């Protein structure tokens, strides 16, 4: 397997589309695509020179040496079982949480199972293609397929890491916390601006520069060096004001704020900026507000 191997995609969503376009631009032969709806397959095929849209999964798989299953995670096993595989043909799913067990049908037909998960939050094909350079790809596979997928990640600017089956869920969880949940956390932070008499959109505009700088700080200073704010400074009075304001005006956010603050107290201490005594004082304050809310 190399760049001349013919590649098909079964599933034409944002992840599949981003990978198909990126691989094509990286010199790989993406020749076929099929999807749950033929119109989606046609749309993706139109983005990739030399790619043909097929109405059935089997037709797309038949013309390829390597088939990427970029359906939803829940559909991978059933889609795999719906295809007759050739010995030596590579079958690769793009789930971050699932192991190669989803490809048992293909393995039973002596196809080569693999996994190739891009650790990125994809919102559209256009943005997804531009966001791939520099990201990490979680890879499973054996023998020639393992090396092929590693080289593929490198060729499109990625950072390949090899994963054990038992580690896949925690690996994926780290990505969900940084992608899905971070986005929701940002939305909740911006929603506080409603209480300032302004809009959530204004909140997002105000907070985005801070989010970007946090990313820069993490890249340049790492953890715990990048950790900053009232917890690093040991500002007990400020933390108390946060808790009082939440209790009075936005009590539904209190559990989230408290648990994040408690879980993160270790990092200012590790940085050497917060004494263990001061950390214990803040911890007691946070836990005390939780008890008071429970009693109420």
Q: What is the pTM of this model?
A: 0.86
Look at 52-66, 103-117, 171-185 and tell me which has the smallest mean pLDDT. Answer: 171-185
Categorize the per-residue pLDDT at 123 as very low, low, confident or very high, splitting at 50, 70 and 90: confident
Calpha distance 254→244 (Å, rounded): 10
Architecture of the structural domain at 6-164: 3-Layer(aba) Sandwich (3.40)
Contacts of 110 (CB under 8 A, 6+ apart): 85, 87, 88
CA distance 209 to 212: 5
Q: Which H or E element spans position 60?
A: helix 57-62
Q: What is the pLDDT of residues 254-265, one digit of tens each?
A: 999 999 999 999
pLDDT digits (tens, 9 = 90+) for 161-217: 999 999 999 999 999 999 889 999 999 999 999 999 999 999 999 999 999 999 999
Any idea where the domains of the chain sit in the sequence?
A: 6-164, 178-295
Q: What DSSP letter does each residue of 145-184 carry, written as one string?
A: HHHHHHHHHHHTT-EEEE--GGGHHHHHHHHHHHTHHHHH
| Rounded-to-integer distance, Cα 33 and Cα 259, Å | 45
* Cross-strand partners of 66: 7, 90
Instruction: For tokens 């376009």, name the residue.
Output: 21
Q: What is residue 91's three-state secondary structure?
A: strand
Question: Does residue 296 register a pLDDT over 90?
Answer: no
Q: Check pLDDT > 70 for residue 294.
A: no
pLDDT of 293 > 90? The answer is no
Average pLDDT of 283-292? Answer: 83
* DSSP states of 42-78: HHHHTTSTT-EEESSHHHHHHT-SEEEE-S-HHHHHH
């Amino acid at each position: 397997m190399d760049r001349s191997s013919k590649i098909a995609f079964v599933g034409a969503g944002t992840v599949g589309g981003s990978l198909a376009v990126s691989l094509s631009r990286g010199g790989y032969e993406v020749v076929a695509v099929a999807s749950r709806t033929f119109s989606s397959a046609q749309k993706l095929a139109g983005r990739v020179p030399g790619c043909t849209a097929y109405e059935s999964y089997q037709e797309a798989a038949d013309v390829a040496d390597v088939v990427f299953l970029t359906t939803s995670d829940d559909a991978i096993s059933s889609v795999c079982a719906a295809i007759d595989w050739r010995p030596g043909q590579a079958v690769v799913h793009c789930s971050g949480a699932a192991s190669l067990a989803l490809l048992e049908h293909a393995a039973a037909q002596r196809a080569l199972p693999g996994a190739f998960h891009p650790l990125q939050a994809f919102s559209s094909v256009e943005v997804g293609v531009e966001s791939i350079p520099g990201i990490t790809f979680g890879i499973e596979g054996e023998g020639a397929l393992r090396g092929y997928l590693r080289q593929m990640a490198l060729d499109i600017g990625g950072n390949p890491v090899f994963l054990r089956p038992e580690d896949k869920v925690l690996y994926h969880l780290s990505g969900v916390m940084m992608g899905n949940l971070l986005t929701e956390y940002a939305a909740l932070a911006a929603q506080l601006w409603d209480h300032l008499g302004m809009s959530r959109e204004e909140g997002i505009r105000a907070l985005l520069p801070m989010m970007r700088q946090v990313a820069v700080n993490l890249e340049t200073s790492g953890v715990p060096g990048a950790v900053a704010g009232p917890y690093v400074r040991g500002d007990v009075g400020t933390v108390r004001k946060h808790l009082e304001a939440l209790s009075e005006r936005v009590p539904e956010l209190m559990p989230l704020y408290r648990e994040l603050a408690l879980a993160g107290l270790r990092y200012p201490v590790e940085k050497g900026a917060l004494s263990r005594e001061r950390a214990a004082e803040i911890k007691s304050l946070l836990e005390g507000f939780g008890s008071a809310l429970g009693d109420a």
